[in-house]
Structure 1
Amino acid sequence: MEIDALVFDILGTLVDEPAGIREAVRQAVPAADADELVDLWLGHVETEQRRIVAGERPYAPSDVLDREAAQLVTKTDVVPKLSPWPDTVEGLAELARHHTLIGLSNAGRTTLLRMNAYAGLRWHQALSAEEVQSYKPDPVVYELAVKVSGVPPERLMMVAAHAWDLRGAQRVGLRTAYVARPVGDPPSAADRFDLHADGLADLAGQLAKSRM
Protein backbone atom coordinates (compact mmCIF):
# COMPACT_ATOMS: atom_id res chain seq x y z
CA MET A 1 0.00 0.00 0.00
CA GLU A 2 1.16 3.51 -0.81
CA ILE A 3 -0.37 5.81 1.79
CA ASP A 4 0.20 9.57 1.66
CA ALA A 5 -1.91 10.55 4.67
CA LEU A 6 -3.64 9.01 7.67
CA VAL A 7 -7.12 10.32 8.38
CA PHE A 8 -7.99 9.87 12.06
CA ASP A 9 -11.30 9.68 13.78
CA ILE A 10 -10.88 11.36 17.16
CA LEU A 11 -13.81 10.67 19.50
CA GLY A 12 -13.26 7.19 20.93
CA THR A 13 -10.25 6.50 18.71
CA LEU A 14 -7.80 9.03 20.16
CA VAL A 15 -9.67 10.34 23.21
CA ASP A 16 -11.73 8.44 25.76
CA GLU A 17 -15.09 10.11 25.19
CA PRO A 18 -17.23 7.97 27.56
CA ALA A 19 -14.79 8.49 30.47
CA GLY A 20 -14.80 12.26 29.97
CA ILE A 21 -18.59 12.39 29.91
CA ARG A 22 -18.78 10.05 32.93
CA GLU A 23 -16.55 12.35 34.99
CA ALA A 24 -18.56 15.42 33.98
CA VAL A 25 -21.81 13.67 34.91
CA ARG A 26 -20.45 12.58 38.29
CA GLN A 27 -19.46 16.14 39.11
CA ALA A 28 -22.85 17.51 38.08
CA VAL A 29 -25.06 14.81 39.66
CA PRO A 30 -22.96 12.79 42.15
CA ALA A 31 -25.82 10.57 43.31
CA ALA A 32 -26.88 9.42 39.83
CA ASP A 33 -26.00 6.24 37.95
CA ALA A 34 -23.22 7.75 35.83
CA ASP A 35 -22.96 4.84 33.38
CA GLU A 36 -26.68 5.00 32.61
CA LEU A 37 -26.50 8.75 32.04
CA VAL A 38 -23.44 8.39 29.79
CA ASP A 39 -25.40 5.97 27.60
CA LEU A 40 -28.31 8.42 27.53
CA TRP A 41 -25.97 11.29 26.58
CA LEU A 42 -24.25 9.39 23.78
CA GLY A 43 -27.55 7.96 22.57
CA HIS A 44 -29.04 11.44 22.24
CA VAL A 45 -26.08 12.73 20.25
CA GLU A 46 -26.03 9.69 17.96
CA THR A 47 -29.78 9.88 17.32
CA GLU A 48 -29.68 13.59 16.50
CA GLN A 49 -26.69 13.17 14.19
CA ARG A 50 -28.56 10.45 12.30
CA ARG A 51 -31.61 12.70 12.02
CA ILE A 52 -29.45 15.50 10.60
CA VAL A 53 -27.82 13.21 8.02
CA ALA A 54 -31.28 11.92 7.05
CA GLY A 55 -32.55 15.47 6.55
CA GLU A 56 -35.02 15.20 9.43
CA ARG A 57 -33.41 18.06 11.35
CA PRO A 58 -31.47 21.17 10.24
CA TYR A 59 -27.74 20.97 10.85
CA ALA A 60 -26.55 21.78 14.37
CA PRO A 61 -22.88 21.53 15.42
CA SER A 62 -21.76 19.00 17.99
CA ASP A 63 -21.50 21.52 20.83
CA VAL A 64 -25.24 22.19 20.45
CA LEU A 65 -26.03 18.46 20.53
CA ASP A 66 -23.75 17.97 23.56
CA ARG A 67 -25.44 20.88 25.32
CA GLU A 68 -28.82 19.28 24.66
CA ALA A 69 -27.50 15.98 26.04
CA ALA A 70 -26.04 17.69 29.11
CA GLN A 71 -29.37 19.35 29.84
CA LEU A 72 -31.17 16.06 29.30
CA VAL A 73 -29.05 14.05 31.73
CA THR A 74 -27.75 16.61 34.26
CA LYS A 75 -29.99 19.69 33.86
CA THR A 76 -26.75 21.70 33.51
CA ASP A 77 -24.48 22.92 30.71
CA VAL A 78 -21.50 20.87 31.89
CA VAL A 79 -18.76 20.47 29.24
CA PRO A 80 -16.74 17.22 29.39
CA LYS A 81 -12.95 17.24 29.16
CA LEU A 82 -11.78 14.34 27.02
CA SER A 83 -8.38 12.84 27.80
CA PRO A 84 -6.22 10.99 25.25
CA TRP A 85 -5.65 7.25 25.43
CA PRO A 86 -2.21 6.43 26.93
CA ASP A 87 -0.66 5.74 23.52
CA THR A 88 -2.23 8.63 21.60
CA VAL A 89 0.24 11.49 21.89
CA GLU A 90 3.37 9.38 21.42
CA GLY A 91 1.71 7.34 18.69
CA LEU A 92 0.73 10.39 16.66
CA ALA A 93 4.27 11.75 16.96
CA GLU A 94 5.69 8.48 15.63
CA LEU A 95 3.19 8.24 12.77
CA ALA A 96 3.85 11.87 11.81
CA ARG A 97 7.46 10.95 10.98
CA HIS A 98 6.31 9.17 7.82
CA HIS A 99 2.77 10.33 7.11
CA THR A 100 0.67 13.46 6.92
CA LEU A 101 -1.86 13.32 9.76
CA ILE A 102 -5.39 14.61 9.23
CA GLY A 103 -8.00 14.66 11.97
CA LEU A 104 -11.56 14.17 10.69
CA SER A 105 -14.11 14.52 13.45
CA ASN A 106 -17.84 14.86 13.93
CA ALA A 107 -16.92 17.38 16.62
CA GLY A 108 -17.75 20.96 15.64
CA ARG A 109 -15.02 23.55 15.16
CA THR A 110 -15.22 24.94 18.70
CA THR A 111 -15.32 21.50 20.30
CA LEU A 112 -12.49 20.26 18.08
CA LEU A 113 -10.25 23.18 19.00
CA ARG A 114 -10.88 22.71 22.72
CA MET A 115 -10.43 18.94 22.51
CA ASN A 116 -7.17 19.12 20.54
CA ALA A 117 -5.71 21.60 23.01
CA TYR A 118 -6.75 19.67 26.14
CA ALA A 119 -5.64 16.26 24.83
CA GLY A 120 -2.41 17.54 23.23
CA LEU A 121 -3.26 16.12 19.80
CA ARG A 122 -0.80 16.77 16.97
CA TRP A 123 -2.09 17.33 13.45
CA HIS A 124 -0.96 18.61 10.11
CA GLN A 125 -4.64 19.42 9.51
CA ALA A 126 -7.73 19.08 11.71
CA LEU A 127 -11.07 18.94 9.89
CA SER A 128 -14.54 19.23 11.38
CA ALA A 129 -17.67 17.77 9.82
CA GLU A 130 -19.13 21.20 10.50
CA GLU A 131 -17.34 22.34 7.32
CA VAL A 132 -19.85 20.36 5.25
CA GLN A 133 -22.81 20.75 7.66
CA SER A 134 -23.21 17.01 8.17
CA TYR A 135 -21.87 14.06 10.15
CA LYS A 136 -20.03 10.85 9.43
CA PRO A 137 -20.84 8.41 7.89
CA ASP A 138 -22.26 10.83 5.31
CA PRO A 139 -19.90 10.51 2.29
CA VAL A 140 -19.47 14.29 2.06
CA VAL A 141 -17.47 14.26 5.31
CA TYR A 142 -14.88 11.79 3.99
CA GLU A 143 -14.83 13.62 0.67
CA LEU A 144 -13.77 16.71 2.61
CA ALA A 145 -10.57 14.90 3.65
CA VAL A 146 -9.95 13.82 0.06
CA LYS A 147 -10.42 17.39 -1.19
CA VAL A 148 -8.18 18.97 1.44
CA SER A 149 -5.43 16.35 1.06
CA GLY A 150 -5.28 16.78 -2.71
CA VAL A 151 -4.56 13.09 -3.28
CA PRO A 152 -6.70 10.20 -4.58
CA PRO A 153 -8.83 8.48 -1.90
CA GLU A 154 -6.95 5.19 -2.27
CA ARG A 155 -3.81 6.96 -0.98
CA LEU A 156 -5.61 7.97 2.22
CA MET A 157 -6.13 5.61 5.15
CA MET A 158 -8.99 6.16 7.58
CA VAL A 159 -8.04 5.13 11.12
CA ALA A 160 -10.86 4.52 13.60
CA ALA A 161 -12.07 2.42 16.50
CA HIS A 162 -15.55 2.35 14.93
CA ALA A 163 -16.35 -0.14 12.19
CA TRP A 164 -19.28 2.02 11.01
CA ASP A 165 -16.82 4.89 10.44
CA LEU A 166 -14.48 2.70 8.42
CA ARG A 167 -17.35 1.37 6.31
CA GLY A 168 -18.29 4.95 5.50
CA ALA A 169 -14.71 5.69 4.45
CA GLN A 170 -14.59 2.57 2.29
CA ARG A 171 -17.64 3.74 0.36
CA VAL A 172 -15.64 6.80 -0.71
CA GLY A 173 -12.61 4.69 -1.66
CA LEU A 174 -10.32 5.25 1.34
CA ARG A 175 -8.08 2.55 2.76
CA THR A 176 -9.02 1.53 6.29
CA ALA A 177 -7.33 0.64 9.57
CA TYR A 178 -9.25 -0.54 12.63
CA VAL A 179 -7.61 0.32 15.97
CA ALA A 180 -8.96 -1.61 18.94
CA ARG A 181 -10.08 0.45 21.94
CA PRO A 182 -12.08 -0.45 25.07
CA VAL A 183 -14.90 1.63 23.56
CA GLY A 184 -16.02 1.80 19.96
CA ASP A 185 -17.65 -0.44 17.39
CA PRO A 186 -15.69 -3.65 16.69
CA PRO A 187 -15.65 -5.10 13.16
CA SER A 188 -18.15 -7.77 12.19
CA ALA A 189 -17.22 -11.02 10.48
CA ALA A 190 -18.21 -9.45 7.16
CA ASP A 191 -15.89 -6.42 7.46
CA ARG A 192 -12.75 -6.34 5.34
CA PHE A 193 -10.45 -3.60 6.55
CA ASP A 194 -6.87 -3.22 5.31
CA LEU A 195 -5.29 -3.25 8.77
CA HIS A 196 -6.29 -4.32 12.27
CA ALA A 197 -4.12 -2.84 15.06
CA ASP A 198 -4.03 -3.21 18.83
CA GLY A 199 -2.99 0.43 19.23
CA LEU A 200 -1.07 3.20 17.54
CA ALA A 201 2.34 1.58 18.09
CA ASP A 202 1.07 -1.57 16.40
CA LEU A 203 -0.37 0.53 13.58
CA ALA A 204 2.96 2.31 13.10
CA GLY A 205 4.74 -1.06 12.98
CA GLN A 206 2.38 -2.49 10.38
CA LEU A 207 2.67 0.62 8.21
CA ALA A 208 6.46 0.45 8.46
CA LYS A 209 6.41 -3.15 7.20
CA SER A 210 4.17 -2.14 4.30
CA ARG A 211 6.79 0.42 3.22
CA MET A 212 9.54 -2.21 2.97
Structure 2
Amino acid sequence: MAVRKSAPIIVFDVNETLLDISTLEPLFERVFGDRASLREWFANLILYSQTMTLCGRYTPFGELAVSTLRMVASLHQVALDASDIDELQARMSTMPAHPDVLPALKCLRNAGLRLVTLSNSASGASPSPLERAGLATFFERSFSVEAVKKFKPAPETYQMVSQALNVELADLLLVACHYWDTAGAQAAGCLGALLTRPYNAPLLIDEMPAPDLMASELGALTEQIIQRWGGPA
Protein backbone atom coordinates (compact mmCIF):
# COMPACT_ATOMS: atom_id res chain seq x y z
CA MET A 1 0.00 0.00 0.00
CA ALA A 2 1.24 3.47 -0.86
CA VAL A 3 2.20 5.67 2.06
CA ARG A 4 0.37 8.99 2.20
CA LYS A 5 2.32 12.23 2.62
CA SER A 6 0.16 13.23 5.56
CA ALA A 7 -2.00 11.42 8.05
CA PRO A 8 -5.76 11.44 7.58
CA ILE A 9 -8.21 12.83 10.10
CA ILE A 10 -9.65 9.87 12.00
CA VAL A 11 -13.46 9.88 11.99
CA PHE A 12 -14.95 7.52 14.57
CA ASP A 13 -18.40 6.02 14.47
CA VAL A 14 -19.86 6.11 17.99
CA ASN A 15 -22.56 3.50 18.73
CA GLU A 16 -21.01 0.05 19.13
CA THR A 17 -17.64 1.20 17.75
CA LEU A 18 -16.78 3.34 20.79
CA LEU A 19 -19.73 2.76 23.11
CA ASP A 20 -20.80 -0.72 24.22
CA ILE A 21 -24.40 -1.39 23.20
CA SER A 22 -24.33 -4.76 24.98
CA THR A 23 -25.20 -2.83 28.15
CA LEU A 24 -28.74 -2.70 26.73
CA GLU A 25 -29.00 -6.50 26.97
CA PRO A 26 -30.66 -6.62 30.43
CA LEU A 27 -33.62 -4.65 29.05
CA PHE A 28 -34.09 -7.08 26.17
CA GLU A 29 -33.69 -10.10 28.41
CA ARG A 30 -36.35 -8.76 30.76
CA VAL A 31 -38.80 -7.72 28.03
CA PHE A 32 -38.29 -10.51 25.49
CA GLY A 33 -36.77 -13.25 27.63
CA ASP A 34 -33.69 -13.32 25.40
CA ARG A 35 -30.85 -10.82 25.52
CA ALA A 36 -29.92 -11.79 21.95
CA SER A 37 -33.06 -9.97 20.78
CA LEU A 38 -30.97 -6.81 21.19
CA ARG A 39 -29.34 -7.75 17.89
CA GLU A 40 -32.70 -8.13 16.15
CA TRP A 41 -33.70 -4.67 17.37
CA PHE A 42 -30.40 -3.05 16.42
CA ALA A 43 -30.35 -4.62 12.95
CA ASN A 44 -33.87 -3.35 12.33
CA LEU A 45 -32.94 0.08 13.67
CA ILE A 46 -30.12 0.34 11.11
CA LEU A 47 -32.29 -1.12 8.34
CA TYR A 48 -35.05 1.40 8.86
CA SER A 49 -32.72 4.34 9.34
CA GLN A 50 -31.34 3.60 5.89
CA THR A 51 -34.84 3.02 4.55
CA MET A 52 -35.90 6.46 5.77
CA THR A 53 -32.94 8.04 3.97
CA LEU A 54 -33.76 6.21 0.74
CA CYS A 55 -37.36 7.41 1.08
CA GLY A 56 -36.24 11.00 1.62
CA ARG A 57 -37.50 11.05 5.22
CA TYR A 58 -35.84 11.75 8.55
CA THR A 59 -36.60 11.41 12.23
CA PRO A 60 -34.01 11.58 15.03
CA PHE A 61 -32.22 8.30 15.70
CA GLY A 62 -33.44 8.11 19.29
CA GLU A 63 -37.07 8.40 18.22
CA LEU A 64 -36.52 5.78 15.54
CA ALA A 65 -34.94 3.51 18.17
CA VAL A 66 -38.11 3.70 20.26
CA SER A 67 -40.37 3.04 17.26
CA THR A 68 -38.22 0.08 16.25
CA LEU A 69 -38.48 -1.34 19.77
CA ARG A 70 -42.26 -1.08 19.52
CA MET A 71 -42.16 -2.81 16.13
CA VAL A 72 -40.05 -5.70 17.42
CA ALA A 73 -42.32 -6.03 20.45
CA SER A 74 -45.32 -6.22 18.13
CA LEU A 75 -43.64 -8.94 16.07
CA HIS A 76 -43.06 -10.95 19.24
CA GLN A 77 -46.49 -10.11 20.66
CA VAL A 78 -44.92 -8.53 23.71
CA ALA A 79 -46.56 -5.62 25.53
CA LEU A 80 -44.32 -2.65 26.31
CA ASP A 81 -44.74 -0.37 29.29
CA ALA A 82 -43.78 3.29 29.39
CA SER A 83 -41.05 2.29 31.82
CA ASP A 84 -39.52 0.04 29.14
CA ILE A 85 -39.21 3.01 26.79
CA ASP A 86 -37.72 5.11 29.58
CA GLU A 87 -35.18 2.39 30.31
CA LEU A 88 -34.17 2.11 26.65
CA GLN A 89 -33.58 5.85 26.42
CA ALA A 90 -31.69 5.93 29.71
CA ARG A 91 -29.46 3.01 28.76
CA MET A 92 -28.76 4.47 25.29
CA SER A 93 -27.60 7.73 26.86
CA THR A 94 -25.28 6.08 29.38
CA MET A 95 -23.49 3.36 27.41
CA PRO A 96 -19.89 2.92 28.61
CA ALA A 97 -16.84 2.80 26.39
CA HIS A 98 -15.49 -0.58 25.31
CA PRO A 99 -12.38 -1.48 27.36
CA ASP A 100 -10.07 -1.09 24.34
CA VAL A 101 -11.23 2.43 23.48
CA LEU A 102 -9.54 4.67 26.04
CA PRO A 103 -6.00 3.23 25.57
CA ALA A 104 -6.38 3.42 21.78
CA LEU A 105 -7.56 7.03 21.82
CA LYS A 106 -4.63 7.98 24.05
CA CYS A 107 -2.21 6.37 21.59
CA LEU A 108 -3.76 8.14 18.62
CA ARG A 109 -3.73 11.48 20.42
CA ASN A 110 -0.11 10.98 21.50
CA ALA A 111 0.76 10.29 17.86
CA GLY A 112 -0.61 13.73 17.01
CA LEU A 113 -3.52 12.50 14.95
CA ARG A 114 -6.69 14.55 14.64
CA LEU A 115 -9.82 12.78 15.92
CA VAL A 116 -13.52 13.53 15.35
CA THR A 117 -16.74 11.52 15.57
CA LEU A 118 -19.65 11.04 13.19
CA SER A 119 -22.81 9.54 14.65
CA ASN A 120 -26.31 8.65 13.50
CA SER A 121 -27.46 9.84 16.92
CA ALA A 122 -28.77 13.38 17.18
CA SER A 123 -26.88 15.88 19.29
CA GLY A 124 -28.46 16.77 22.59
CA ALA A 125 -28.00 18.52 25.87
CA SER A 126 -24.81 18.09 27.86
CA PRO A 127 -23.68 15.71 29.18
CA SER A 128 -23.58 13.77 25.93
CA PRO A 129 -23.09 9.99 25.78
CA LEU A 130 -19.42 10.60 24.90
CA GLU A 131 -19.04 12.93 27.87
CA ARG A 132 -20.66 10.40 30.20
CA ALA A 133 -18.29 7.72 28.88
CA GLY A 134 -15.27 9.97 29.51
CA LEU A 135 -14.29 10.19 25.84
CA ALA A 136 -15.41 13.61 24.64
CA THR A 137 -12.11 15.39 25.33
CA PHE A 138 -10.28 13.24 22.77
CA PHE A 139 -12.25 14.67 19.85
CA GLU A 140 -11.92 18.12 18.35
CA ARG A 141 -15.46 17.93 16.96
CA SER A 142 -18.47 15.61 17.11
CA PHE A 143 -20.70 15.50 14.05
CA SER A 144 -24.29 14.26 13.84
CA VAL A 145 -26.14 13.25 10.69
CA GLU A 146 -29.02 15.44 11.85
CA ALA A 147 -27.26 18.34 10.11
CA VAL A 148 -28.02 16.79 6.70
CA LYS A 149 -31.06 14.77 7.84
CA LYS A 150 -29.72 11.62 6.23
CA PHE A 151 -28.37 8.54 7.96
CA LYS A 152 -25.10 6.83 7.19
CA PRO A 153 -24.02 5.46 4.75
CA ALA A 154 -25.52 8.28 2.64
CA PRO A 155 -22.57 10.11 0.98
CA GLU A 156 -23.85 13.46 2.27
CA THR A 157 -22.97 12.42 5.83
CA TYR A 158 -19.28 11.98 5.05
CA GLN A 159 -19.24 15.01 2.74
CA MET A 160 -20.57 17.11 5.62
CA VAL A 161 -17.52 16.21 7.72
CA SER A 162 -15.01 16.96 4.97
CA GLN A 163 -16.65 20.29 4.22
CA ALA A 164 -16.79 21.31 7.88
CA LEU A 165 -13.11 20.44 8.35
CA ASN A 166 -12.14 21.99 5.00
CA VAL A 167 -10.38 18.85 3.77
CA GLU A 168 -10.89 16.43 0.91
CA LEU A 169 -12.86 13.23 1.46
CA ALA A 170 -9.63 11.33 0.76
CA ASP A 171 -8.19 13.00 3.88
CA LEU A 172 -10.67 11.20 6.14
CA LEU A 173 -10.33 7.70 7.59
CA LEU A 174 -13.61 6.38 8.94
CA VAL A 175 -13.25 3.88 11.79
CA ALA A 176 -16.36 1.79 12.42
CA CYS A 177 -17.33 -1.72 13.44
CA HIS A 178 -20.06 -1.78 10.77
CA TYR A 179 -19.08 -2.78 7.25
CA TRP A 180 -22.00 -0.83 5.76
CA ASP A 181 -20.43 2.30 7.29
CA THR A 182 -16.85 1.78 6.11
CA ALA A 183 -18.08 0.72 2.66
CA GLY A 184 -20.26 3.82 2.46
CA ALA A 185 -17.36 6.04 3.47
CA GLN A 186 -15.10 4.43 0.88
CA ALA A 187 -17.76 4.82 -1.82
CA ALA A 188 -17.91 8.52 -0.96
CA GLY A 189 -14.13 8.84 -1.32
CA CYS A 190 -12.84 8.30 2.22
CA LEU A 191 -10.59 5.61 3.60
CA GLY A 192 -12.24 2.92 5.71
CA ALA A 193 -11.00 1.01 8.76
CA LEU A 194 -13.19 -1.86 9.92
CA LEU A 195 -13.22 -2.97 13.54
CA THR A 196 -14.61 -6.49 13.60
CA ARG A 197 -16.18 -6.51 17.03
CA PRO A 198 -18.46 -9.47 17.84
CA TYR A 199 -21.48 -9.58 15.51
CA ASN A 200 -19.60 -7.54 12.88
CA ALA A 201 -17.67 -8.74 9.83
CA PRO A 202 -16.85 -7.61 6.28
CA LEU A 203 -19.06 -8.56 3.35
CA LEU A 204 -16.81 -10.66 1.13
CA ILE A 205 -18.05 -9.86 -2.35
CA ASP A 206 -16.01 -8.58 -5.29
CA GLU A 207 -18.36 -5.70 -6.03
CA MET A 208 -17.85 -4.15 -2.59
CA PRO A 209 -14.66 -2.47 -1.36
CA ALA A 210 -12.38 -4.25 1.09
CA PRO A 211 -11.57 -2.10 4.12
CA ASP A 212 -8.26 -0.27 3.88
CA LEU A 213 -7.47 -1.48 7.40
CA MET A 214 -9.09 -4.15 9.55
CA ALA A 215 -8.62 -5.60 13.03
CA SER A 216 -10.68 -7.30 15.72
CA GLU A 217 -9.56 -4.96 18.50
CA LEU A 218 -9.15 -1.20 18.53
CA GLY A 219 -5.63 -1.34 19.93
CA ALA A 220 -4.49 -3.47 16.99
CA LEU A 221 -6.26 -1.16 14.54
CA THR A 222 -4.57 1.82 16.18
CA GLU A 223 -1.19 0.17 15.72
CA GLN A 224 -1.93 -0.25 12.01
CA ILE A 225 -2.92 3.40 11.70
CA ILE A 226 0.21 4.65 13.45
CA GLN A 227 2.48 2.27 11.52
CA ARG A 228 1.02 3.43 8.23
CA TRP A 229 0.93 7.16 8.89
CA GLY A 230 2.84 7.81 12.10
CA GLY A 231 1.00 11.05 12.75
CA PRO A 232 0.78 14.26 10.74
CA ALA A 233 3.51 15.10 8.24
TM range (shorter): 0.7 to 0.9
Unpaired runs of 5+ residues, structure 2, are 74-79
Check if 1:119 corresponds to 2:133. yes
Moved beyond 4 Å, runs of 4+: none
- Structure 2 counterpart SS, 1:96: helix
Q: Measure the CA separation in 2 of the matches of 1:43 and 1:112.
A: 28
How many equivalent residue pairs?
Answer: 207
Alignment of 1:15-164 (within 5 A): 15-17=19-21, 19-26=22-29, 29=31, 32-36=33-37, 38-55=38-55, 58-72=57-71, 73=73, 74-75=80-81, 76-77=84-85, 78=87, 79=89, 80=91, 81-97=94-110, 98-110=112-124, 114-121=128-135, 122-164=138-180
Alignment of structure 1 residues 195-210 onto 2, 5 Å: 195-210=213-228
Tell me the C-alpha RMSD between the 2 structures: 2.3
* Structure 1 runs not aligned, ≥5 long: none
- Give the deviation of 1:149 after TM superposition: 1.7
Q: For the structure 1 residues 69 and 111, does the alpha-carbon distance in structure 2 shift closer, same or farther, using more than 3 Å as the test?
A: farther
User: Could you tell me the percent identity over the aligned residues?
Assistant: 25
Amino acid at match of 2:62: D
How far is the alpha carbon of 1:112 from its aligned partner?
A: 9.6
In the alignment, is the contact (CA less than 8 A) between 2:28 and 2:36 conserved in 1? no
Q: Which protein is bigger by CA-based radius of gyration?
A: 2
Deviation sequence 1:24-64 (CA, Å, 0-9, x none): 334x53x722322x1342243123212211126x3100110
TM-score (norm 2): 0.79
TM-score normalised by the chain length of structure 1? 0.86
Per-residue CA deviations over 1:104-139 (Å, capped at 9, x if unaligned) read 111111399632122222311111111111100111
- SS for the counterpart of 1:110 is coil
Q: 1:139 to 1:113 in 2, by over 3 A?
A: farther
Is 2:108–2:226's contact at 8 Å kept on the other side of the alignment?
no
* Structure 1 residues 170 and 32, CA gap change in structure 2 (3 angstroms): same
